[in-house]
Amino acid sequence: MVTEKLDSALLRYIVAQGFQPGDRLPALDVISTELKISVGKLREQLEVARTLGLVDVRTRSGIRLEEFTFMPAVRFSVLYALALDPAQFDAFNLLRNRVEAAFWHDAVARLTPADHAQLRDLISKAWAKLNGQPIRIPQPEHRDLHLTIFGRLENPFVKGLLEAYWEAYEAVGLSVFSDYSYLREVWTYHERIVDAIIAGDFDAGYELLVKHTALLRNRESTHPHAVPERPLVDSALFADMS
């Protein structure tokens, strides 16, 4: 069974007891008695579970089980990889591009009118920052735009990976170093992508997404950690899909 593969007595206990997100777990001394494992060992396993976002630990409220999310595990691993070598962002960036491409049509088909309005609002806020005095980088809007587009997917692994991507993006400094002409080009693409989504022309939106992923290459020569975004798919492959 899968449970037996879990290298944590605490996590096996949580699964066996059928705890649900929001449930409060017994105190560690109680679990220790039941499992015949030292409290010290359980504390180590609890810290791992907390780091992975599986539990919330607070002094007064105790230990509560969280809703599963893939992001903390990916974030922890990716940030470690980037600390060793920031150039690893290139590989993670390529993975993210391919994931967005693969789930594009499923994601945009699930968006609601409220989501469309949110996307429009993010576009407006981004342009207000770019056209303002002083000019500001619309990084929160950039992140929220992409995460909103894929936010209705019922796949925690895809959503977790995409959320972790933006943590990595900021970690390597791409959120604070931007050429103004690059930013305007990016947000012109974003606006056209949103227009296509709202119009229901998902294939056009996909094609724009493919093209816009190549824009980061314009920053490679001026930023030490910037890496070129590769196209989501080969142009020949895209032509076959149209």
114-163 pLDDT, tens digit each = 999 999 999 999 999 999 999 999 999 999 999 999 999 999 999 999 99
* pLDDT at residue 241 greater than cutoff 50: no
Does one domain contain both 184 and 235? yes
Residue 112, Cβ neighbours under 10 Å: how many?
Answer: 9
Q: Where are the alpha helices (DSSP H) in 154-201?
A: 156-171, 180-199
Does one domain contain both 217 and 233? yes
Residue among 136, 129, 242, 120 at smallest CA distance from 192: 120
State the residue for tokens 């980088």: 137
Query: In this structure, are residues 35 and 9 in contact, taking their beta carbons and an 8 Å threshold?
Result: yes
* pLDDT at residue 242 greater than cutoff 50: no
Determine the pLDDT at residue 96: 95
Does one domain contain both 87 and 59? no
Residue 6 sits in a domain whose CATH number is 1.10.10.10
Does one domain contain both 11 and 117? no
Does one domain contain both 21 and 6? yes
State the residue for tokens 């509560």: 64
State the residue for tokens 């096996």: 12
Asked if the bond preceding 138 is cis, omega within 30° of 0, the reply is no
Mean pLDDT of 223-242: 37
Q: Single out the residue in 65, 96, 112 at which a domain terminates.
A: 65
Domain count within the chain = 2
Does one domain contain both 46 and 128? no
What span, in angstroms and rounded, lies between the C-alpha atoms of 86 and 168?
Answer: 9
Does one domain contain both 93 and 125? yes
% of the chain surpassing 70 pLDDT: 87
Does one domain contain both 77 and 169? yes
What span, in angstroms and rounded, lies between the C-alpha atoms of 121 and 132?
Answer: 16
Does one domain contain both 41 and 75? no
Contacts of 148 (CB under 8 A, 6+ apart): 111, 115, 118, 119, 122
pTM (two decimals): 0.83
**Structural domain of residue 44, as residue ranges?**
2-65
* pLDDT at residue 12 greater than cutoff 50: yes
3-state secondary structure 70-99: CHHHHHHHHHHHHHHCHHHHHHHHHHHHHH
Q: What angle do CA 20, 25, 29 make, to 5 degrees?
A: 155
Does one domain contain both 127 and 229? yes
Q: Single out the residue in 18, 40, 65 at which a domain terminates.
A: 65
Task: Please give the radius of gyration of the chain, using alpha carbons only, rounded to the nearest integer.
Answer: 21
Does one domain contain both 61 and 79? no
The residues pairing with 56 across neighbouring beta strands, listed in sequence order, are 64
Does one domain contain both 128 and 194? yes
Mean pLDDT of 156-175: 92
